Structure 1
Amino acid sequence: MKPYLDLRHLQLIQAVIETGRITDAAEKLGVTPSALSHRLREAERRLDVQLFTRMHKRLRKTPAAEYMSVVADRILSDLTRAEEDVRRMNAGIHHVVRLSVEAYSNYRWLPAFLKYLKSHTTGIDLQIMAGGNLNPLTGLMNRNIDIAVVSGVPAQAGVTAVHLFEDPLLFIMAPGHRLAGRDYVEGTDIVDEPFITYTKVPEPDREFARLFRPTETYPKWTATVELPEAIVELVASNLGTSVLAGWALQTALKEGRIIGVQVTQEGITIPWSAALRSEDADPDDPIRIVADHMAEWCARPGCGLHVT
């Protein structure tokens, strides 16, 4: 049986894909080009498949190399995380809880919560997994994260939700916009209004169901931008309007870069929850402990994760 690839081969594949040249990849890894070439031939021999083809003095990855790169990403990421876990444990950290926030990458609230957590627990550290924010429940069930801060109350099997806070949706626009003086906006107010959204998938109790559909009036879709923070910058530059969660907009609102008004006269308020795997929901489990402390912290005025 042929021997398996080791970590050096995976790092080699990643480096060659990143740089496209043997010499540059060798420099990146701190080895000689001849040693790297020998290691590459060894990897291809073990796999019995060609990993790279040469084109215009550069190496072009084959489908086999592309597949191995995906695997290498996962393995090397897991190894890095394991090394960090060990270092933390050696420093008195016994449990690392990985957390991601749905859709948003605004973590201005994080330092205050970490101080609160450390003042109420020992041996627990928090690791932010920003890459899991587009589909955090999938990451939760795949065990890539331990807590997903999500809007709504997830009803997925195997998931337990801890209520955190209620938060309003806000219609946002640039200063000086024609609707900036309103106390609230209805669907009829924004007909044909240039509108930027991070998803066009209708969700219950959101702007699609409660702002647009009741009056059958819709804005003019101008862009789908998956990063809400980028949407804020586009809106601030008067390139469109949007509807986003109020808690994530507080910095831009306080700085006066955007204006936010209530959505509908009654308002649209969304519950946010800390979702965790049901198997981790025991009160003594470190993951549940973090979720419960987050709920306690969110109940305090000015916690930074909801509009007070």
Structure 2
Amino acid sequence: MNLHRLHCFITVVEEGSITKAATALQMTQPPLSILIRKFEQELNVTLFNRLGRSLELTPSGVFLYEKGKELLDLSENTEKQLVEFHEGIRGTVKLGCTTSANLFILPNVLKKIQKETPNIVTHVREGNTSYILEELRSHKIDIGIVRTSVRAEDIHTSTLLTEPLLLALPPNHHLCEKDSIDIADLKNERFLLNTTSYGSGVADDVIEACQKSGFTPNVVYWGTETLPTLMMVMKGAGVCFVPSCFKLLNSPDLPVLRPLANPVLQTKLNIITLKDRYMTSISKRFLAITEEVAEKMTSIFND
């Protein structure tokens, strides 16, 4: 089977038309149409029902699409393993992560990589959990680091870091005088929370804790990024909750951060990977270093 033709066939299926697939493959439409017909002749099957300009997969086409993706993955992974066998640990690891992981974990990871394994290049895409899952499933990244818990049959999840949540208070707020805060103390406060793009996250835990304390929080703002929310706290817009790693910024331009005593709320950073995808030596080394860095950070938070 011609793997180039198989790749083109799969691209046509995923793009939904010859025209869009030709653009994605950086070729013109007529040669791609000819290539697909030759592929059908090679296999002696009809892969598409052609209804005017629209294409509809035949049962044989559906079968080939599903098995063909597995075959291309196997081919790609075999090539990677051969390169590793020949050249050793060198290459690029593609990572998708949250802002907090990019701010507080990756700098120390890169420092350690440059010292111990200088032939690894790190390519990072930052975004929320839904975006990172999409990138992982489309094989655009190798590893994801996300704040929310992910439960899916095709995803392997492991906890990288567990840290307490801290309360961010506006300057001169009366609660700044306290060393720790009870959720019940926040009954009359305005809450600034970040939305969760997938599964459950910090906001869900905060709202549940408030309700168990006998009140529903007055949420006046829903955002997506922590740093802009902290800036709003500095302007007196309300209070918000952040992972303990943000205290490492130690900036006078950020709000006062206080621990929560009742209840103590925690948040996790999780590593996600595809279950059935080959893990390269580069990715394994990157993960090992990342776990070492996270373990040291955990000890700091527990001091």
Q: What range describes the TM-score normalised by the shorter chain of this pair?
A: 0.5 to 0.7
State the alpha-carbon separation in 1 of the partners of residues 110 and 241 from structure 2.
29
Match for residue 276 of structure 1 among 273, 276, 281: 273
Match of residue 196 from structure 1: 192
Alignment map for 1:217-296 (pairs within 5 Å): 217-251=215-249, 253-255=250-252, 257-280=254-277, 282=279, 285-296=281-292
Match for residue 112 of structure 2 among 96, 113, 116: 116
SS of the residue corresponding to residue 107 of structure 1 reads helix
Contact 2:129 2:148 in 1 (8 A): no
Alignment map for 1:177-192 (pairs within 5 Å): 177-192=173-188
TM-score by length of 2: 0.61
Instruction: Letter of the 1:261 partner, please give it.
Output: R
SS of the residue corresponding to residue 263 of structure 1 reads strand
TM-score by length of 1: 0.60
Cα gap change, 1:162/1:286 in structure 2, threshold over 3 Å: closer, same or farther?
farther
Deviation, structure 1 residue 147: 1.6
Instruction: Letter of the 1:279 partner, please give it.
Output: D
**How many pairs are equivalent?**
224
Contact 2:99 2:126 in 1 (8 A): no
Deviation, structure 1 residue 129: 0.3
State the alpha-carbon separation in 2 of the partners of residues 148 and 200 from structure 1.
16
Alignment map for 1:68-217 (pairs within 5 Å): 94-102=90-98, 104=100, 107-131=103-127, 135-151=131-147, 153-199=149-195, 203=200, 206-209=205-208, 211-217=209-215
Contact 2:159 2:270 in 1 (8 A): yes
- Structure 1 vs Structure 2: percent identity of aligned residues? 16
SS of the residue corresponding to residue 154 of structure 1 reads coil
Deviation, structure 1 residue 281: 6.4
Q: What is the CA RMSD across the aligned residues, in angstroms? A: 3.6
Please, which runs of 5 or more residues in structure 2 have no aligned partner? 1-17, 29-52, 54-87
SS of the residue corresponding to residue 261 of structure 1 reads strand
State the alpha-carbon separation in 2 of the partners of residues 173 and 127 from structure 1.
35
State the alpha-carbon separation in 2 of the partners of residues 184 and 159 from structure 1.
37
Match of residue 61 from structure 2: none
Cα gap change, 1:150/1:127 in structure 2, threshold over 3 Å: closer, same or farther?
same
Cα gap change, 1:256/1:183 in structure 2, threshold over 3 Å: closer, same or farther?
farther
Bigger fraction of residues in helix: 2
